Amino acid sequence: MTGAVKKAELHCHIEGAASAALVKAQARKYNADVSGFISGDSYIWSDFTEFLAAYDGAASLFRDEKDYALLARSYLEGIAAENAIYAEIFVSPDHAIAGGLSPSAYFDGLAEGIAEAKASTGIECRMIIVGVRHLGAEKVEAAAQLASTRPHPLITGFGMAGEERFGKVADFARAFDIARDAGLGLTIHAGELAGPESVRDALDLVRPARIGHGVRAIEDEALVRRIAADNVVLEVCPGSNLALNLYPDMSRHPFDRLLRAGVKVTLSSDDPPHFGSSIGREYRMAAETWGYTAAQLTSITRTSIEAAFVDEPTRAILLGQLD
Ligand code: ADE
Ligand code: ZN
């Protein structure tokens, strides 16, 4: 039933979307050893810190425009086969630079893959530049400064990923001021590994349209009411939350409670192969756990498209595909 539902995802880190098989092929190309973070066709890590190391290890094997074009195309064609019509990918200039690639070559390579996937499947995609929190405020501000120059027409937002327990939200407020002044859509990871206070700080200091994860807001009723009243959209990634042990199983995941409290919740896969997930699986798990009908799942997709950092004509076309 969920297979035919049109889907969208707002929260996927492009380097985290590289399948283990693709990363192994890249390792052969560059004569590199991935045995520290891949075994067979799976990533191996046991906690968030090891996950970030596996993420960086995989990213280091994408080194030129063609590599990134292949990555974006493979990811987008994969989710288009699950009936995704729209995706936003987090792109990280710091990862490009670490791999020896200029940010402009990185964006061009990704854009080439996005164009190829659009030609073969019709899927739309936009890019959100992210700063990496645990690299510090200076690096995150540099990423915001770069984003503010609008370095590629498909770049429509700015966000921050990385270790939420590093520093305080206030340290990064200036970066978000720079991005807001440039008219970019704002999203920030909060309320994933850090508690509800991180979500409150994000609302107070960053004023984002969307929050990456945000699920731990459920621990504070007044905060849930505020998120609902302010129409802040949560990019919820249940498979990621289960893999990182935030919740023991789907029945304990707060997605449905947030939805019933009037919060605008959406579904995404975060770093799909690291968590054994995909956007299709996220929708399937939600339907199996909470009994959502196809119409209810489609309304989740509608929330995503309404919250997308995309121009209005494209939004109207995408919404039209849901009727
Ligand atoms: N970078 C990639 N995936 C992430 C996640 N789930 N949380 C924070 N930073 C990330
Ligand atoms: Zn994320």
Domain coordinates in residue numbering, the chain: 2-320
Contact predicate 215/252, CB 8 Å: no
- Annotated active-site residue in 88, 192, 235, 282: 192
* Residue owning the nearest CA to atom 2 of ligand 1: 13
Bridge pairing between strands 38-39 and 42-43: antiparallel
Find how far residue 155's CA is from the centre of its chain: 14
* Residue owning the nearest CA to atom 9 of ligand 1: 162
Contact predicate 179/186, CB 8 Å: yes
Contact predicate 71/62, CB 8 Å: yes
Tell the burial category of 56 from Cβ atoms under 10 Å away from its Cβ (0-12, 13-18, 19+). Answer: middle
Nearest to 160 by CA among 210, 110, 109, 124: 210
312 included as an active-site residue: no
Predicted pLDDT at 266: 99
Per-residue pLDDT 10s for the chain (323 aa) are 899 999 999 999 999 999 999 999 999 999 999 999 999 999 999 999 999 999 999 999 999 999 999 999 999 999 999 999 999 999 999 999 999 999 999 999 999 999 999 999 999 999 999 999 999 999 999 999 999 999 999 999 999 999 999 999 999 999 999 999 999 999 999 999 999 999 999 999 999 999 999 999 999 999 999 999 999 999 999 999 999 999 999 999 999 999 999 999 999 999 999 999 999 999 999 999 999 999 999 999 999 999 999 999 999 999 999 98
* C-alpha 262 – ligand 1 centre gap (Å): 26
* C-alpha 275 – ligand 2 centre gap (Å): 12
DSSP for 75-111? HHHHHHTTTEEEEEEEE-HHHHHHTT--HHHHHHHHH
Question: What is the sign, positive or negative, of the torsion defined by CA atoms of 145, 150, 155, 158?
Answer: positive
Q: For ligand 2, a single-atom ion, which residues have Cβ within 5 Å?
A: 270
Rg (CA), the chain: 18
Contact predicate 228/265, CB 8 Å: no
Predicted pLDDT at 257: 98
pTM of the shown model: 0.98
Residues counted in the chain? 323
- d(Cα 210, Cα 21) in Å, to the nearest integer? 32
Predicted pLDDT at 1: 80
What's the CATH number of domain 2-320, 3.60.15.10, 3.30.70.2740, 3.20.20.140, 1.20.1440.120? 3.20.20.140
